[in-house]
Chain A
Amino acid sequence: MSQSNAKHKGFLKQKPIALLFVTVVLLLLCFSSIAIGTREVTWQEIIGALQGQMNTMGEASVTMRIPRTVLAILAGCALGLSGAIMQSVTRNPLADPGILGVNVGAAFFVVIGLAWFGINQLQTYVWLAILGAGITAIFVYFISSLGYGKSTPLKFALAGAATSAALSSFIVAVVLPRNDIAGSANSWQIGGVGGATFDSLQLVLPFLIVGFLLSVFVARKLNTLALGDDIAAGLGENVAWIRALAWLSAVLLCGATTAICGPIGFVGLVVPHLCRLLVGVDNRWLLIFSALVGACLLLSADVLGRIISRPSELSVGVVTAFVGAPFFIWIVRRQRVKEL
């Protein structure tokens, strides 16, 4: 009778086994992220670098890969989680930081800061990106609730797409006449984890931690919201409050990620869908899995980007789009995307 033995259709019926499987995959990917790169390294160099040595070129490049791996994990977790939360809160299977314009909103604020206020400190980027993400999220929500009737999934997706398009062209308009900032703005906009250092990680870590904690807090409450606002209220939840907290969590997670990585698409959209097929619709499991699978996807995209275009690298934002799109089509064809 307990919840754990409820059957779910999916690849792996037992959630603990699925959890173990995903964790093992994540560990393997972590290892490959440290071992594989533009420069080929030996086992000794990997072990040496993990112990903190930096005597050879190999060890030095492995050391460089560590913060990048950590960032890819954090960013992947954050994006997968924020996608899952946004889809739950809006009951919209198309919700994701990219489609709802939140990523572009963050980018827009950063580019404005870069171009007009001469801001070049990472600390300020982070604040700007989160502010931009938040304002865009509210703006899109507001636009979609205009007009007759409530905010429907379709109106929401349309409002997000329109806002994204508008902000993207603003960004181009701001950057185009400014040769001095074009380089940094462009490289930021493509989205990557390559430039990570532990210093830059430290800046966004507090935001991510608050976002993660909030997501833990709202997970079970989102289960009631999934049954509609009336039932959620009947089950003793303050609907507006859960929605605000969940939204804040999602915006913090993806805003902070966008601040250091730039906009990375598809992770937030694809990962929750895949996880729903894996573990069903219980948000307590769904959020955990979305975080882990998000990390797996971003890590593998990053590693793949290093292999494909050796000796240079392909940014992770480019790879996720390439990997994500066919993958998404595959999911949709294999089984109808679950409605919320």
Chain B
Amino acid sequence: MTLKHQLVVDHLAAGYGEKTILNDINIDIKPGQITSIIGANACGKSTLLRTMSRLLSPSSGHVLLDGRSIHNTPTRQLAQTLGLLPQSPIAPEGITVSDLVSRGRHPHHGFLSRWRKEDDEAIAKALETTKTTELLDREIDELSGGQRQRVWIAMALAQETGILLLDEPTTFLDVAHQIEVLDLLVDLNQTRGTTIVLVLHDLNLAARYSDQLIAIRQGQVCANGAPNEVVTEDMIHAVFGLQSQVITDPISGSPMVLPIGRHKRIKHT
């Protein structure tokens, strides 16, 4: 688990059918760090994450994991290094937490291999980290949104991959649960050294929780670096077309974006 894997996006272009969405993307994901991809709606950030997790094939360029193109790596082998949690995963009705989390062990099993002690240990650890051990026998449908997201993350953890890609893991969660999930990801990052890449909608949370921020605009990388360097009023305007004021988050010290709209401004006399 401490082994650091190198994920590199090299001159990548991708899209759906005739429509090109990503254009000449070059990214170095820093091992052992948390990287967030931000950008306006439909800018291609989810497409980028899908291509990086081999759900989508690039039309040109490569995604390289430790120097090898992931689109040419056997998918089961890849699944032992690269974990992935899509935006709104579906679970069959009536599935229990233990059943769901144990399915994360799938890539570590061949056709006839038996259930091993490592599998139980990996699941126990995943449940413990996500604080879902006491939910073990519950059905997914009975859980709250925050609990459910923790269980899905537990499944991805049970896979024991060095890299974890998450597509908007905080969507549909209230603010307390959003913080809970992001704190959990930091725990993972710190205790296991897991490299985490996520797409996030909330700029301020992205700036607070990430080591590296990648801003995408119209299918191209617009800015890439530490939140302190990347989050500027100019960048926000370029990426979102929004006037804003950037201040320092009094809690975390990270940059914080205050959007400026047409209304609701203090009248200066």
Contact = CB atoms under 8 A, between A and B. Distances in A.
Given A230-B84, A235-B159, 10 more contacts: A8-B94, A224-B106, A226-B95, A228-B86, A233-B84, A234-B156, A235-B106, A236-B77, A236-B78, A340-B92
A3 B91 contact: no
Contacts of A231: 84-86, 89
Contacts of A236: 75-80, 106-107
B55 A8 contact: no
Contacts of A224: 103, 106
Contact of A3 (B54, B115, B139): B115
Most interface-central of B53, B54, B95, B139 (chain A CB within 10 A)? B95
A237 B124 CA distance: 24
Contact of A237 (B83, B86, B91, B106): B106
Contacts of A235: 79, 103-104, 106-107, 159
A276 interface: yes
B96 A2 contact: no
A7 interface: yes
B123 interface: yes
Nearest to B119: A2
A133 to B, nearest CB: 26
Contacts of A91: 90, 92
Nearest to A223: B103
A238 B76 CA distance: 9
Contacts, number: 103
B95 A230 contact: no
B92 A6 contact: no
Contacts of A230: 55, 84, 86, 89
B99 A282 contact: yes
B155 to A, nearest CB: 8
B136 to A, nearest CB: 8
Contacts of A227: 89-92, 100, 103
A113 B246 CA distance: 77
Interface in A1-21: 1-3, 6-9
A141 interface: no
Contact of A276 (B77, B80, B91, B94): B94
B115 A338 contact: no
25 contacts: A1-B124, A6-B96, A7-B137, A9-B94, A91-B92, A224-B106, A226-B91, A227-B90, A227-B91, A228-B90, A230-B86, A231-B85, A233-B54, A234-B53, A234-B156, A234-B159, A235-B106, A235-B107, A236-B75, A236-B76, A236-B78, A237-B106, A238-B75, A281-B95, A282-B99
